Structure 1
Amino acid sequence: MGIGAWRHGGDFDRFGGGRQWSTEGIYLVLDQSLVTGPAGRTRLGLFAQYGYADADVSPVQHHAGAGLQWYGPLTDRPDDSAGLMASFVQFSKAPGAGFTDSGELAVECFYRWQAADWLALQPDLQFIDNPGGRGRPDALIMTLRAAISL
């Protein structure tokens, strides 16, 4: 578990007009093993995160996310992993921020297939409700990532 704070000492435009010097925020993170297997190897892990930023200058005021990652979901594929996560952001309500939606929800799932010692392929599916918070249609995104380790 971790907790922290950040500060940016730049000059920022305020959504409501004017400028301000610096902005800051806080964050919390949790990464926890829920189930362990042989030799203490994590089989199921959980993560959660929260962040806060100054709504007068940041488009995102609150962010919360959580997810699960399952390592070796198939007995004959111990190096594969699968995961599911959800993330919610609350957009700034400051005058002039310009958001028509109050928040955005993203849900994502993936499967990482360890094809060889040097190659992993990871298809990923994401659904985003209110992407960008400005009246855009919901989005469904599919990607395929390849990771090569030489």
Structure 2
Amino acid sequence: VFLAVAIVGVSTAIAAIPGGRLSDRFGRRPVIWAAATIAGIGLLGVAVAPTPELAIASWIPFGIGMGTFLSADWALMADVIPKHTAGRYMGILNAGTAMAGPVFIIVAGPVQDLVAAGFGDAAGPRVAMGVAAGFVALSALALTRVDPRRREEDA
């Protein structure tokens, strides 16, 4: 577990600055969608990996995707929220980001237990990682509801 957490942390940090630059160059939404795809592929790699080594290696694309996703997402927020409410909305975004792990544990824990009880211990974590990939996809799909126009233009 320590190694996986370290790999995710380092790869997320390494991808953060280039991810922000990519979003400046190609636009926030396309980069967020690409990043979510990369992160999802990493999670699916963890889910289907036949060996622990491949599962651990699959955390690298997840971290790269998440570092890129987070940078482009924060940049999008900086673009679209009015300056006079920036603190409020950045706080909401930060709270949502911080809650992703605990919410996933609340959802994935019972899913993992249920699947493991029916299909064996090895199946539970694999399905949980598939559920995580689904959460990443849903977060990218939620982006379609965001109006990308700068809010200062509406004021």
- TM-score class, shorter-chain normalisation, is under 0.3
Which gives a bigger RCO, structure 1 or 2 (Cα 8 Å, sep 6+)?
2
The structure with the largest strand share of the pair is: 1
TM-score normalized by the length of structure 1: 0.25
The structure with the largest helix share of the pair is: 2
Rg comparison, structure with higher value: 1
